[in-house]
A = this chain, B = another copy of it.
Amino acid sequence: MMKKQRISPDETKLQLLKAGMHLFGLQGFEGTRTRELAQMAGVNQAAIPYHFGGKEGLYLAVARYVVKRGSDQMKSEVEMIQHTLRDGKLVKVEAEHMLMRFFFAFMDNIILSEDLSDRSRFILREYSTPGAGFEIIYEGMLGKIHKLLCVLVGTIEGENPESERVILKTHALFGTVVGNALTRNLLFRRLDWENFTPERIERMKQAVAEIVCHGLNLGDPNKYLET
């Protein structure tokens, strides 16, 4: 007993993945030093080239890790929807509830733990620098979620879920949710917040729900489009 504390190889990799998710998300790829990563992970700097083939290898591994954790988290929501779809019995009223449930689950997931906050920052950064990382996240997660949402919106509106119209509308709707995460710093400034809390998220959900359910009740949209 009491022999030198030495973590397992798997633990070394895991700690590096966590550190990478955090630091890459905050500072970007070039803005993050391998020494920082190693220090935060509590491992040696040389462990990065050894285990991941280099800094870039670690970055891509982090992207896959983010996808894996995100998929696990949304799994129950996604499976419920897919199950109903497979039965071919998805009707409007169910689609409505599933859409809202999904949005709310997404908002909870975006925010409510440090790990999740790291994940959302990492993903946000991928939006602005599409590359191999975005590819991994799109293929593994984002694309699937988006398609699923389009199925729900298409069902609600009685239209082809892969039509341009439904995709654009779904994307705009999704913006009400992801915008809260992507532009969180703007929101924080406006409300003098320094973080999200469960109570605040409930009030954000209320606002999102109102928009999704009936926008601003302005009547025929076309009257604004005839410019």
Which A residues contact B (CB, under 8 angstroms)?
26-31, 96-97, 99-101, 104, 121, 124-125, 127-130, 134, 138, 142-143, 146-147, 153, 156-157, 164-165, 167-169, 171-180, 182-183, 185-187, 189-191, 202-222, 224-225, 227
Contact = CB atoms under 8 A, between A and B. Distances in A.
Number of copies: 2
A225 B206 contact: yes
Contact of A124 (B96, B128, B177): B128
- 5 residue pairs, one from A and one from B, having the closest CB atoms: A175-B179, A209-B221, A30-B30, A168-B207, A100-B224
23 contacts: A28-B28, A29-B31, A31-B31, A31-B129, A96-B218, A100-B218, A127-B183, A127-B186, A142-B186, A143-B186, A146-B190, A147-B190, A164-B191, A168-B204, A172-B179, A173-B176, A173-B216, A175-B177, A175-B183, A182-B182, A212-B215, A212-B216, A214-B221
A172 B210 CA distance: 10
